[in-house]
Chains A and B, each alone.
Chain A
């Protein structure tokens, strides 16, 4: 059995698989003590090899574990995961809590090129989380809420803080909140769209990472780039990184 653990800024996922067959998956919020959360996820499991990915990937090595531990970046992990789930995939879009990545794949699922957002949180899960606050809507319900909109005003700002200000002032002007919410989602898609073009977007595109659970972003992405045949979304898109890491664990073990 081979393990992959993806320690992101918001949540941590754990996958156990062998030969591509997933036998266990679990998720916990990362919280302020990611190490504790890792321990909880790993408890009672003893993979032959564990590979960590995500922001906390170096952290796992500090745990005293009775099996070998390696680390790869989220970029490689998502590429591997996406390729295993959708072997035809040519591009991966991963929108996580703090980072957005666009990755161009070769036919074996290797990374040819990638782009990642700069320091700021524009166009990431954090952006949506932050702006959802303005509407006092839970992040899980923010997508469905935005889908109620139909006349989105233009939100110019990409900056999380300024976008919030813009949203507030639009509200003060009497614009329907659902429309503003939709506009905010649109600005995320606009931003990721240009990142995808920079790596040389080719289809099929795999959309992974936590934000892929957001129905509004999914719809907008389809509108922008075409239908279901060109954009693939995994059943549990937030598991893709951990799954990719576990696949790499198997590769390392057999090497």
Chain B
């Protein structure tokens, strides 16, 4: 597809062409510096390089073509929106990335300045008209996880067609009941939008598609336990990021191919870094494209990231949906069970996360944990303190980092992370 054809498509989507060009340029430069400069990358990563380079091009084309045949596009911001239902209704499910500063000034007219960068970013992307995914959405689904988001959706809902799901904050039986009601409400909203009825057959199929995707990602996570680390944390994060907007079956297949390569590499004793390189677990807030700052800093500090305890990472892939039910009711219950296992910091209490982090440290042979919270993110900042306590009792070193998307603190971060890595000796 030619650049001109891309531009024509973007114009049709009502993007601000010159601002969008600016975004692509920054993205390209970033990608070059942070990704293409890596040594010993796996061949399989070429697929992801391609997907990313065409993220606003071919993938959008594909989505537009599907829309032309009547398919609907659903955008989400959180791993609480069940992709299984979206797919069963024959719609496309995309995670709207919000990993860069854009349109911040405009966004600050709608939300307070002390709001996390992720929220400002999704509002900013919309106001600046630079995200073809956002512009392609027939419905955007929000969820009432943190206060920042739930209030932001009130303003955002005036800009896009919006459906908000209420996510409970506890995991009691009543809370699960509430979430089930919300899952049902989402199902109805989907059916109305798409005109497709969700049946035992199409839901069973989509549960299997999403389970397979999660299994492939789980397989990748397990392989990262090897020393030397067979794949960089940056690449693994990218894979997790791409899992939110690529076509799921194609994605699953390419990740499994990549895993085959990784297995070969491990069998030959190869890796992206020398054996014995310090291994870090990255834990905390989700990192949307192109929020690669901290991972880049970490992997330029004589360390390698071996896992992401994050929604763009383990929280999204750890649990599968039980596929044994054969009634809609049973399947919805299985979905609710699976989604209510997510250990988001928005829950109270949320002690599972403390256990899950420790398990990841153990399973992946990590030497230490870097906890990442976006500035002004209350839930994760609170849990950083709690996690530090829990880990220090177990003798697991942890560094707590709070930062946003701007580059002004890179040098500072580098010193902190390097000093932390030195400490692990």
Contact = CB atoms under 8 A, between A and B. Distances in A.
A241 to B, nearest CB: 12
A220 interface: no
Secondary structure of the B side of the interface? helix
A111 B415 CA distance: 14
A157 to B, nearest CB: 18
A114 B422 CA distance: 12
Contacts of A75: 415, 419, 422
B419 A73 contact: yes
A254 B161 CA distance: 67
Interface string B21-49: 00000000000000000000000000000
A119 B422 contact: no
B2 interface: no
Interface in B404-425: 408-409, 411-412, 415-416, 418-419, 422-423, 425
B408 A111 contact: no
A76 B419 contact: yes
B419 A55 contact: no
Contacts of A116: 412, 415-416, 419
A110 interface: yes
Contacts of A179: none
A221 B119 CA distance: 42
A42 interface: no
Given A73-B418, A74-B415, A119 B409 contact: yes
Contact of B423 (A74, A99, A111, A119): A111
Contacts of B409: 118-119
A116 B416 CA distance: 8
B422 A76 contact: yes
Interface residues of A, number: 14
Contacts of B425: 110
Contacts of B416: 116
A73 B408 contact: no
A55 to B, nearest CB: 7
A170 interface: no
Contacts of B411: 55
A73 B412 contact: no
A84 interface: no
Interface in A113-135: 114, 116, 118-119
A119 B419 contact: no
A156 B384 CA distance: 28
A72 interface: yes
B101 to A, nearest CB: 16
23 contacts: A55-B415, A72-B422, A73-B422, A74-B415, A75-B415, A76-B422, A76-B423, A99-B412, A110-B423, A110-B425, A111-B419, A111-B422, A111-B423, A112-B423, A114-B419, A114-B423, A116-B412, A116-B415, A116-B416, A116-B419, A118-B409, A118-B412, A119-B409
Given A73-B422, A75-B419, A116-B419, 20 more contacts: A72-B422, A73-B419, A74-B415, A74-B419, A75-B415, A76-B422, A76-B423, A99-B415, A111-B419, A111-B422, A111-B423, A112-B423, A114-B423, A116-B415, A118-B402, A118-B409, A118-B412, A119-B408, A119-B409, A119-B412
Interface of A: 55, 72-76, 99, 110-112, 114, 116, 118-119
- The 4 tightest CB contacts between A and B, nearest first, are A75-B419, A73-B419, A111-B423, A76-B422
